[in-house]
Copies of this chain bind each other. A is one copy, B any other.
């Protein structure tokens, strides 16, 4: 369980054993069953969260009750709500386990302290932020420039494992189209 996190850190950077152990000493383990929530709209998010196993989604619900998926986070990825964490404001999002999931949590203050104390860890975290930013940019570019069909193909191309792991209507939600439209796009594509 902690092994997953250790392996992740060791793959990403050469952190001394003792630093890694210090980080782990602040880790809180949380197990979620399918459909359980890690965060609910209106609550303030106060952690950094690493998915050791399983799979979660981050989504909002609008006035009409429609869900909009901001993110999928499988094992070896981080999740959370940066906005709520930073500003200490109620979150607009829900984070829900799509499968039974094990999460490693580190409290905001502990996390900040660790970043200050361990520069290599700080670098690692900033690298992740950097990658997340690039991913966001790519998604924005897709959203303003591509057709629905291209958005879907692009999604499957970039996230093949996720595409195979979630129901189709969640992909539709992620790319911002209705499930019916996605269904039609797919059936038309196979005719070709």
Q: B-contacting residues of A (Cβ < 8 Å)?
A: 60, 62, 66, 68-70, 82-83, 86, 92, 126, 129-130, 132-134, 136-137, 139-141, 143-145, 173-176
Contacts and interface: CB of A to CB of B under 8 A. Distances in A.
Contact of A137 (B66, B82, B130, B174): B82
A92 B134 CA distance: 13
Contact of A143 (B126, B132, B143): B143
Given A70-B140, A82-B137, 10 more contacts: A62-B145, A66-B145, A69-B144, A82-B130, A82-B133, A83-B137, A92-B141, A129-B133, A136-B137, A143-B176
B174 A144 contact: yes
Contact of A130 (B62, B86, B134): B86
A83 B12 CA distance: 20
- List the number of copies, as a whole number: 2
Nearest to A70: B141
6 contacts: A66-B145, A82-B133, A132-B133, A136-B140, A144-B175, A145-B176
A189 to B, nearest CB: 19
Contacts of A174: 144
Contacts of A140: 70, 136, 139-140, 143
Contact of A68 (B60, B130, B144): B144
Given A68-B144, A141-B60, A130 B130 contact: no
Contacts of A144: 68-70, 143, 173-176
Contacts of A145: 60, 62, 66, 68, 176
